Structure 1
Amino acid sequence: MIRETLSAFGGIGMFLVGMLLLTSGLKGLAGGQTRALLVRFTRTPLSGAITGALTTAVVQSSSVTTVAAVGFVASGMLTFSQALGIIFGANIGTTITGWLVATLGFKLDLGELALPLILAGALLQLSGRARLVLLGQAVTGFSLLFVGIDYLKDGLAAFSGVLTPSDFPPDTIIGRLELVAIGIAITLVTQSSSAGVATALAALGAGAINFPQAAALVIGMNVGTTFTALLATVGGGTMARRTGLAHVLFNLMTGLIAFFLLGPFTAVAAPWIAEGSGQIALVGFHSFFNGAGVALMLPVTRQFARLVEWLVPERGSPLTRGLDPAVLGVPNIAAELAVATLARLNTAVCDHLCRSLGADLPPDARLPARAEIEAALIELRDYLDRIRLPADRPDLAATVAECFHALDHLLRLLYRCDQRRRISALGDTPRLRRLRGLIVSAAARQARSPDDPATEEMLDRLRRLLHDQRKHPRDRIVEDAVFGRISDEIALARLDALRWLHRVAYHLWRIRLHQNAIATPRTEAVPQEKETRVDVALD
């Protein structure tokens, strides 16, 4: 009996390893296409539910789909109610694994046939080519699922007649609640509802439990996945916490529906499914109650979203609310959130510059306090530091590097807004006032640029113009000071003002340059402006 017990545990272990490899391989093969499809086809909660179900079925991971949904909302690509549709659909997508296990693993006995596929998958992983390695992981994982099921079946078969349904809680209300609790515990231990469902299917096939008991276990496993979702939100941002709470509330509601549907389904539907096959009926029940939960929630998704938003209010600065720590482990999503935050900070700093120069802002503009802007810039810098960049994604490394460069210039530009003495000197002469007006127009355009390449070209021209202004008018200012037409103090203030104008134009240009490099990666390096030591020393 010890050998059979070890076989059952080993089968569960192989199944879990298989799921990990399968998910990792499929996720890598899907790449950015998964996220592109989610955004493209998610227009309403219904389309989001369908897309989320299909995506989860393909990549075999609801967490991948859920994290992507968090990133979409945090970056402003989707509303929270649209993302909820994706999360609801992911619950249906996870039931596909149960169908694979019940139809292929238990009906066709593919364990021995899968052994050569494990070798094939291992050879593919040894090829060294990225796509083949991922394909090898998926093939190996898929094969290990069925080898694990074979061991699980063989181990539990030995308990036939020894372990019977009477050894488990009876088919009563209290008994079913106890079985639900056991199902939750199994999911907490294995951290995989799919492995729990496979175990329930094997126990049902061995006669250790009957259909109502197996169904109650599956309900508990479905609810148990919410604890994993809650753990994933610890330390996360607002969107991660809202998503985790929405997942918990939805699964609890779905579990409640399933609990009340269990009796009628057992009596009416189960005997007619696949000629009374208990295993097919079990996965059918799993899909049925998840589908019923989605069908009931879709009409009230927006109201549900408002409830969750009320329960989990926004916190922190609006400038950096999109920087969700929960997605730091997914570098492409984290980088996109950083880029979106950088754009908001660019607008805030440019608006602050315009206000510092005495210009009016657009009616809908919200100008945060200077301290809030600086704190947000530092928070973005820290977030960029924490993104885990994989060695095989130089494009992401380039994006993060461009963000750092743009962020550096934003910090410098914010510092220059504090130089009140230089700013006040800009009103001394008609020329300085005209140049100040050019800076205001440039900053306003940079804050809400409708045409990035054209804006970069305009800022470059302005930067060159102001660089020339530092050379030619300087001699006249010095001459006026020499002949006593203006005091030395005023002359120095005007020279400082000219330098300030050039440096501000330079920062605006560099910020746009790096932002454009993020949007459209360049084949050549971002050009660097040559500066003299005198310029830097006097700055």
Structure 2
Amino acid sequence: MGVGTLIGGIGIFLLGMMLLTDTLKSLAGERLRERLNRMAEGPVAGAFLGATMTALFQSSTVTTLMTISFVSAGLLTFTQALTLVIGANAGSATTGWIVALLGYNVDIRELLLPLIGVGMALRLIGRRVKRIGMLLVGLGLVFVGIGTLQEAMREVVTFSFSGWDTDTPLHQLALLGTGLFMTVVLQSSSIGLVLTMTALATDTVTLAQAAFLVLGQSAGTSLVVALGSLGGWKSARRIVLGHVLVHSSILLIGWLTFPLLFGVVNRVADWLNWNELLRLALFHTSFHLLGVLTFLPFHEAFSRRLLKWVPSRSEKLIRFLDPNMSRIPTVALEAARRSLIEIERYLGNETKLLLTEARKREDELQLVEKTLGDVRVFLSTIQLEEGQGRNDYGQHLSLLHTIDHLERWLFVLREVDPVDALRDTDFLVARQLVLHELELVDALNHHTPPEDSKQWKTASKQLAEYRKAHRAEMLEETAANQLEMEQTIRKVQALLWLDRLGYHVWRATRHLIKPTVPSERFEVNLED
């Protein structure tokens, strides 16, 4: 019965935590996204936001994974995200205080069991209060789980830590490793902390042993975050690396300063006449705050180092863009033009790969789509200056045309499966014309003279003429029953696909190297 009760207690606690986390995310998620940038403007504000999110969700892992999604969506910069990750350490300490103050000092289960019934009633009443109802259910289940764990630990404890001397480095490492293992297996340092506090309350472990266990559990969250972000973008990998380094450093600092830190905690607790659970909560908070104070003053240097260690392809493509340039339109527009040249060359290489090897890499196409969006946002910040309006307006207009054609080019690559275009020997000429355009794109740079745009124009015109002639020829063959209708449709679609591709390659390049002359119908507003 004891083992079953233990497993059930873990399950009840987990269910309560999941309900709390999911409900709080749904209640605060949209508002959080809207205010995110404003709230994370400085390092202290970012760390406070990270701590608050973790305190609300009762999981630093959830905070970190949400932060990764915010960076991927462009809602936070990497440096801002790093301050949230650092601050999340402090927020994770709230679990220990909740358990130490409420979980064992009073029979909270009797007080909170009715909450489960009230919460479910609210859940069934209507849409407006159902989230509040689930919040109450989650809160009730968390403490029911804690109480169940406490009972189970008294029944099932057969393993003794009495032989593990916390003054021996080997035993210290064993305790740290056990704590880390608990977090990885349970997928939550909060659950590991609750189990450790339960063990401490039932005299299964000493206070010093519990302190080493929670140190290891804190480091274990890095592995949980790494598993939760597998397959993510480079920005996600950077945040995970930052998370690993922060938590590993906290573990190392906590271990090396353990005699001093543990001694200070005990002196403060003696003065306050605190029990062992409160002492453990204080120790847990102390080493997390120590980690925050260690990293937060140097977060910018730490961020730069991580950016260097894990370079992003998207940042390489838009490396010329600097928000401060927007006050100098001519410089800003040239930076945007150079970025679009890099993006077009990158897209050209992906297109060649598709035409020659029939390989379409969606991740790379998503990268192009994201960087085009970044350039578009950058262009929207540029303010025209009096006396330079017409030339800059023409350049700005050309770059918008370029983005439009690059996005259409991207759409063409995603639109259909070009198997016929790649394998049908009837279209070798058309394919070679497109590849010729792409070879020219590969040699494109910011010094390419405007008159060179004729090379792309010539290839595109030849492609259009080829398409017209062969389309008419295929329709005639179909009418004469020399080709099946289905076969004709596939061939015509493939030919049109190649023609559209060649057209957008030409137009994107033309606007990129030969600025558009503004229409006389529009006057440039120089006052905005």
When normalised by structure 1's length, the TM-score is 0.62
Q: What does 1:5-16 align with in structure 2 at a 5 Å threshold?
A: 5-16=3-14
* Equivalent residue letter for 1:12: I
1:287-324 CA deviation, whole Å, 9 max, x = no partner? 11111111011111111101111111112586799xxx
1:403-455 CA deviation, whole Å, 9 max, x = no partner? xxxxxxxx9998755577xx99xxxxxxxxxxx8446998x99xx9999xxxx
How far is 1:111 from its partner?
1.4
Q: Matched residues in 2 for 1:297 and 1:269: separation?
A: 22
Say which of 208, 217, 220 aligns to 2:216.
220
What does residue 138 of structure 1 align with?
Answer: 135
Say which of 252, 255, 262 aligns to 1:256.
252
What are structure 1's unaligned runs of at least 5 residues?
322-336, 351-358, 383-410, 425-435, 452-539
What does residue 327 of structure 1 align with?
Answer: none
- SS of residue paired to 2:273: helix
1:134-162 CA deviation, whole Å, 9 max, x = no partner? 212211111111111111111112357x6
- SS of residue paired to 2:232: coil
How far is 1:163 from its partner?
4.8
Change (3 A) 1:85 1:364: farther
Q: What does 1:121-520 align with in structure 2 at a 5 Å threshold?
A: 121-129=119-127, 131-158=128-155, 163-168=159-164, 170-270=166-266, 272-273=268-269, 274-315=272-313, 343-344=373-374, 361=395, 417=504, 437-438=517-518
Would you say the 8 A contact 1:66–1:87 is kept in 2? Answer: yes
* Equivalent residue letter for 1:214: A
What are structure 2's unaligned runs of at least 5 residues?
320-366, 381-392, 417-497
* Equivalent residue letter for 2:261: F
* Equivalent residue letter for 2:137: T
Aligned residues: 382
Q: Matched residues in 2 for 1:63 and 1:86: separation?
A: 12
Would you say the 8 A contact 1:164–1:207 is kept in 2? Answer: no
What does residue 56 of structure 2 align with?
Answer: 58
Say which of 45, 48, 51 aligns to 1:47.
45
How far is 1:80 from its partner?
2.0
State the identity as a percent. Answer: 34
- SS of residue paired to 1:43: coil
Would you say the 8 A contact 2:60–2:89 is kept in 1? Answer: yes
Q: Matched residues in 2 for 1:343 and 1:450: separation?
A: 26
Change (3 A) 1:309 1:375: farther
Q: Matched residues in 2 for 1:303 and 1:26: separation?
A: 33
Change (3 A) 1:413 1:137: farther
* Equivalent residue letter for 2:176: V
1:17-52 CA deviation, whole Å, 9 max, x = no partner? 110011111111113122334322212212210121
Q: Matched residues in 2 for 1:7 and 1:303: separation?
A: 49
Would you say the 8 A contact 1:159–1:206 is kept in 2? Answer: no
Q: Which moved more, 1:81-90 or 1:362-371?
A: 362-371
Q: Matched residues in 1 for 2:162 and 2:398: separation?
A: 69
Change (3 A) 1:381 1:345: farther
What does residue 441 of structure 2 align with?
Answer: none
* Equivalent residue letter for 1:91: N
Q: Matched residues in 2 for 1:214 and 1:146: separation?
A: 21
Say which of 70, 79, 92 aligns to 2:90.
92
Q: Matched residues in 2 for 1:375 and 1:416: separation?
A: 9
Q: Which moved more, 1:31-40 or 1:67-76?
A: 67-76
How far is 1:73 from its partner?
3.8
Would you say the 8 A contact 1:183–1:217 is kept in 2? Answer: yes
Q: Matched residues in 1 for 2:399 and 2:375: separation?
A: 13
What does residue 354 of structure 2 align with?
Answer: none
Would you say the 8 A contact 1:349–1:414 is kept in 2? Answer: no
Change (3 A) 1:36 1:360: closer
Change (3 A) 1:14 1:368: same
What does residue 24 of structure 1 align with?
Answer: 22
How far is 1:349 from its partner?
12
How far is 1:66 from its partner?
2.7
Would you say the 8 A contact 1:13–1:148 is kept in 2? Answer: yes
Would you say the 8 A contact 2:119–2:133 is kept in 1? Answer: yes
Q: Matched residues in 1 for 2:503 and 2:236: separation?
A: 36
Q: Which moved more, 1:271-280 or 1:86-95?
A: 271-280
Q: Matched residues in 2 for 1:289 and 1:441: separation?
A: 67
Q: Matched residues in 1 for 2:61 and 2:415: separation?
A: 27
* Equivalent residue letter for 2:233: G
Would you say the 8 A contact 1:24–1:134 is kept in 2? Answer: no
What does residue 112 of structure 1 align with?
Answer: 110
Q: Matched residues in 1 for 2:397 and 2:370: separation?
A: 22
